[in-house]
């Protein structure tokens, strides 16, 4: 293998943040851009128009490219499938990111990531090979979530959800930071600065991942010899370093950074809670007879069912959704597949099927409280979260009642 070297600056990129790395017979020109800068869009146009590159790589994954390229991508989403597959929280997090980007677009007059979209479009127009080198945003969220712990996950998810409701202007300091940083990092706000685990997952891991993807895609079979990689300025130094120095096979690096720890196959918490609840009922019947046992069961059903139903009603749920929440809430702790929030949200989506217009207006509607209740997609999400919250409160209160009876 030829030792990787850094070559002299590329004249066509002289006025822009960039790095040139030559390795294994391939020349990589790394163009650092600001995701909210018209100057970066112009720089991309000029670089590709120069005609010296045979391959264009961009800091995107297929999901983010679809969101940039197809305004109707949301309208093609199967919302019920999202609910059934347990991806509701990820969908909401993506909405939070989209809402943040929308605020930037309205304030600055340019779509965040416009330079990445321009790179793809210009490359296709010139019939150049295009490589999407960024890691799937869902994998990044999952790996960050696993490293943060439950409190960290709560803070980061709370920040993303808060951005759904916010309509205030993005501060000057935040914009300046974004010009030198990364869209995902900026979306997490102040929490990213205080969390080394989050920074490592969102920035450092992706530097290494994109370097591996560049090496992997620029094989002899691909014919790539002169590659332009368009990436956020915050990735420029780390990407160049990994592209220059990493010796591990790129396939191995990609496999490592795409892996997500499997959850324990045995549902310890569910089993513990089921034993506690059912054991409490049995103990009530044994110690106090039918009257005490029946009282505990009735209290549990009414407490969890009523609070779950109240949460659904607070979300503006249909009467059938509220009924589904009441029925599912008492058994939610006993079986994960019967989660009250999921069941009531599926019923809501079935009874009040979201329309094409709801999906198209979603990014704008989630910017206000009224919009959440007006838009059927947003109301399904609200149903899921508020029903789940009501049920969780009911479980704690019902569990406290059981524990008090058992200790009496």
Q: How far is CA 155 from the centre of its chain?
A: 14
In contact, 115 and 33? CB cutoff 8 Å:
yes
Q: What is residue 144's predicted lDDT score, i.e. its pLDDT?
A: 78
Instruction: Give the pLDDT band of residue 36 (cuts 50, 70, 90).
Output: confident
More reliable by pLDDT, 270 or 2 = 270
Q: Which residues contact 74 (CB under 8 A, 6 or more apart)?
A: 359, 360, 362, 363
Q: What's the full length of the chain, in residues?
A: 408
| pLDDT winner (highest mean) among 92-96, 105-109, 128-132, 139-143 | 128-132
Q: Check whether residue 141 and residue 286 sit in a common domain.
A: no
Which range marks the domain in which residue 287 is found?
268-407
| Closest to 18 measured CA to CA, from 46, 36, 3 | 46
Query: What is the domain count for the chain?
Result: 2
Has residue 170 been placed in a domain? yes
Q: Per-residue pLDDT averaged across 379-392, rounded? A: 91
Q: Check whether residue 37 and residue 127 sit in a common domain.
A: yes
Which of 258, 289, 305 is the endpoint of a domain? Answer: 258
Q: In what order do the strands lie in the sheet with 226-232?
A: 5-6, 18-23, 26-33, 226-232, 55-58, 129-132
Has residue 364 been placed in a domain? yes
Q: Check whether residue 232 and residue 294 sit in a common domain.
A: no
**Whether pTM exceeds 0.75:** no
Question: In this model, does residue 93 exceed pLDDT 80?
Answer: no
Q: What is residue 161's predicted lDDT score, i.e. its pLDDT?
A: 58
Question: In this model, does residue 348 exceed pLDDT 90?
Answer: yes
Q: Distance between CA atoms of 153 and 266, rounded to whole angstroms?
A: 22
Mean pLDDT for all residues in the chain: 79
Q: Check whether residue 90 and residue 48 sit in a common domain.
A: yes
């Amino acid at each position: 293998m030829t030792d990787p070297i850094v070559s002299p600056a590329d004249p066509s990129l002289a006025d822009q943040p960039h790095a040139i790395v030559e390795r294994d017979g391939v020349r990589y020109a790394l163009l650092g851009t600001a995701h909210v800068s018209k100057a970066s869009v112009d720089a991309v146009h000029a670089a590709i128009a120069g005609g010296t590159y045979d391959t264009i790589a961009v800091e995107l994954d297929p999901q983010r490219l679809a969101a940039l390229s197809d305004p109707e991508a949301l309208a093609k989403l199967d919302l019920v499938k999202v609910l059934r597959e347990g991806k509701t929280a990820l969908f909401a997090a993506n909405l939070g990111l989209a809402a943040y980007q929308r605020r930037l677009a309205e304030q600055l007059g340019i779509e965040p990531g416009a330079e990445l979209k321009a790179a793809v479009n210009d490359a296709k127009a010139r019939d150049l090979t295009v490589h999407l080198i960024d890691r799937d945003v869902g994998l990044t969220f999952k790996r960050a979530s696993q490293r943060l712990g439950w409190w960290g996950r709560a803070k980061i998810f709370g920040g993303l959800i808060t951005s759904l409701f916010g309509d205030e202007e993005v501060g000057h300091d935040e914009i300046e930071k974004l010009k030198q940083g990364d869209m995902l990092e900026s979306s997490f706000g102040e929490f990213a600065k205080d969390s080394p685990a989050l920074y490592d997952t969102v920035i450092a891991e992706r530097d290494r991942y994109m370097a591996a993807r560049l090496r992997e895609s620029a094989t002899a079979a691909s014919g790539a010899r002169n590659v332009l990689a368009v990436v956020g300025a915050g990735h420029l130094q780390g990407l160049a370093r990994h592209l220059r120095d990493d010796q591990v096979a790129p396939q191995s690096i990609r496999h490592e950074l795409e892996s997500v720890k499997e959850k324990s196959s045995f549902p310890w918490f569910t089993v513990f809670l089921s034993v506690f609840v059912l054991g409490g009922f049995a103990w009530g019947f044994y110690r106090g007879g039918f009257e005490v046992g029946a009282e505990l069961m009735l209290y549990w059903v009414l407490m969890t069912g009523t609070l779950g139903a109240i949460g659904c009603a607070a979300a503006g749920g249909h009467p059938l959704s509220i009924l589904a929440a009441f029925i599912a809430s008492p058994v939610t702790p006993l079986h994960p597949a019967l989660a009250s929030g999921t069941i009531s949200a599926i019923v809501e989506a079935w009874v009040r099927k979201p329309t094409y217009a709801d999906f198209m207006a979603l990014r704008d509607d989630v910017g206000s409280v009224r919009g959440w209740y007006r838009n059927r997609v947003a109301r399904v999400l609200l149903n899921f979260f508020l029903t789940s919250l009501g049920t969780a409160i009911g479980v704690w209160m019902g569990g406290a009642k059981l524990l008090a009876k058992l200790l009496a």
